């Protein structure tokens, strides 16, 4: 088995074929070939404190599966998949959160929920050391039958210490804004002693000769 000693303190119990996390509550490793290894991935919902949403999401698409960081990890950054060159632009096609430990170490796991096929991934945008994603806002281009609508164009987040100390800091990926639509209001904020740990995205299927909008809305989940 392989692991980063800065991100993982795990014991593999041979007799029960289980992976046991120690009190650090941090885990990421290559346990996929071991029976019982999914114990480090399940039950994250039991640790959820609240769901973050916004009011300006697009109307099209279906909600894809909820995806989470590995147990004990929280979002310390993000990246986006953007398509903006085609004559039928879809702009934001996917969001991926980058997961890390309570010590703010990159631990290798990521979560992205549903995504559409167009575009390229941006670089990573990471919170300042020891802070985590705790709120978000979407830039949305509302659907208009008379033009090329693009759905969500961009996303921004706020980073905060896990225990709520100090003022939150905005986090964007340069230039911080897409070409169409406007940012709506900020979501609620994860409660004290919690941070974003998962997400769910609303994706419109390819429309053939009709207007493609790809990602239309997103929700994020806060975990203790």
Q: What is the 3-state secondary structure (H, E, C) of the chain?
A: CCECCCCCCEEEECCCCEEEECCCCCCCECCCCCCCHHHHCCCHHHHEEEEECCCCCCCCCEECCCEECCCCCEEEEEEEEEECCCCCCCEEEEEEEEEECCCCCEEEEEECCCCCCCCEECCCEECCCCEEEEEEEEEEECCCCCCCCCEEEEEEEEEEECCCCCCCEEECCCCCCCCCCEECCCCCCCCCCCEEEEEEEEECCCCCCCCCCCEEEEEEEEEC
pLDDT at 185 over 60: yes
pLDDT for position 171: 97
Q: Average pLDDT, stretch 171-200?
A: 95
pLDDT at 37 over 70: no
User: What is the rounded CA–CA span in Å between residue 187 and residue 153?
Assistant: 17
pLDDT at 193 over 50: yes
pLDDT at 159 over 80: yes
pLDDT for position 131: 93
Residue bearing the bigger pLDDT, 224 or 188? 188
pLDDT for position 103: 66
User: What is the rounded CA–CA span in Å between residue 177 and residue 208?
Assistant: 27
User: What is the rounded CA–CA span in Å between residue 155 and residue 138?
Assistant: 5
Query: pTM for the whole thing?
Result: 0.78
CA neighbor of 43 nearest in space, from 198, 218, 161: 198
User: What is the rounded CA–CA span in Å between residue 11 and residue 121?
Assistant: 35
User: What is the rounded CA–CA span in Å between residue 28 and residue 32?
Assistant: 11
The pLDDT confidence band at residue 33, using thresholds 50, 70 and 90, is very low
pLDDT at 13 over 70: no
pLDDT at 7 over 70: no
pLDDT for position 4: 40
pLDDT for position 58: 87
Mean pLDDT of the chain: 80
User: What is the rounded CA–CA span in Å between residue 61 and residue 201?
Assistant: 9
pLDDT for position 137: 98
Question: Which of 69-78, 101-110, 187-196 is the least confident region?
Answer: 101-110
Residue bearing the bigger pLDDT, 130 or 25? 130
* CA distances, 21 to each of 71, 76, 109, 178 (Å): 9, 21, 16, 41
Q: Average pLDDT, stretch 16-45?
A: 45
Q: Average pLDDT, stretch 35-62?
A: 69
- Go through the domains of the chain in sequence order and give each one's CATH number: 1-42 (no CATH), 44-223 (2.100.10.20)
Residue bearing the bigger pLDDT, 159 or 31? 159
């Amino acid at each position: 088995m392989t692991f980063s000693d800065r991100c993982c303190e795990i014991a593999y119990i041979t007799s029960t074929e289980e992976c046991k996390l120690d009190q650090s509550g941090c885990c990421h490793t290559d346990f996929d070939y071991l029976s019982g290894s999914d114990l480090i991935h399940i039950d994250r919902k039991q640790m959820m404190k609240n769901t973050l949403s916004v009011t300006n999401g697009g109307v099209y698409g279906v909600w894809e599966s909820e995806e989470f960081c590995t147990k004990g990890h929280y979002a310390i950054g993000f990246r986006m998949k953007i398509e903006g060159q085609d004559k039928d632009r879809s702009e934001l096609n996917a969001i991926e959160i980058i997961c890390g430990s309570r010590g703010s170490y990159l631990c290798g796991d990521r979560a992205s929920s549903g995504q559409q096929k167009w575009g390229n991934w941006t670089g990573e945008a990471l919170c300042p050391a020891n802070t985590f994603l705790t709120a978000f806002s979407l830039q949305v281009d509302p659907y208009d039958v008379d033009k090329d609508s693009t759905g969500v164009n961009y996303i921004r987040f706020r980073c905060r210490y896990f225990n709520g100390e100090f003022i939150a800091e905005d986090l964007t990926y340069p230039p911080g804004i897409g070409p169409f639509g406007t940012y709506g209001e900020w979501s609620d904020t994860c409660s004290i002693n919690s941070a974003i740990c998962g997400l769910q995205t609303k994706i419109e299927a390819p429309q053939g000769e009709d207007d493609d909008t790809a990602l239309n809305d997103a929700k994020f989940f806060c975990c203790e």
